[in-house]
Amino acid sequence: MRAIDNYYLQKEEPVKSCLLFLRDHILNFDKNITEAWKYGMPFFCYNGKMFCYLWVHKKNGLPYIGIVEGKKIDHPALIMEDRARMKIMLLDPTIDLPIDTINFILNKAISFYD
C-alpha cells in the first residue's frame, strides 16, 4: 500500500471520510492538479508546483486544507496561526462542508499559478 493511501485509511471517522472526500474533490477540481506524497503528508500540485495539502490539526483534531500561497489570499475562512506563508481552512467533518467557499479559495489559489 502506498504511504499516501495509508495516511487516509488510518484516520478515524468522520475525519477519514472528510479527508477522502476532499482528496477526490481537489483532484477533480482542475485537470492540472496532481497528488504527491511530500514531507510525510498528502500534497496536491498544480502544474507540478506545490498547491495545497490535507492535514489534521494537532490541537483540535479537525481536518483542514492547507493553502501554500494562503498568505496572498484574504478570506475569513483562512487562518494563518504561526505559519509564514501558508494559511489553513479548518473543516468540521460532522456537518456539510462549505463547498462554495472551498471552491472559491481553490480558484483564488490557482490564480497565483497561472
Give residue-wise pLDDT tens across range 6-51: 999 999 999 999 999 999 999 999 999 999 999 999 999 999 999 9
pTM above 0.85, yes or no: yes
Q: Is the dihedral of CA 19, 47, 82, 38 positive or negative?
A: positive
Spatial contact of 22 and 55, defined as CB atoms under 8 Å apart: no
Angstrom distance (rounded) from CA 58 to CA 78: 17
Kindly report, residue by residue over 39-98, the tens digit of the pLDDT.
999 999 999 999 999 999 999 999 999 999 999 999 999 999 999 999 999 999 999 999
Of 47, 43, 102, the closest CA to residue 68 belongs to 43
CB-count burial class (<10 Å; 0-12, 13-18, 19+) for 77: middle
Q: Is the pLDDT of residue 114 over 90?
A: no
Q: Which domains does the chain have, with CATH numbers?
A: 3-110 (3.90.1150.200)
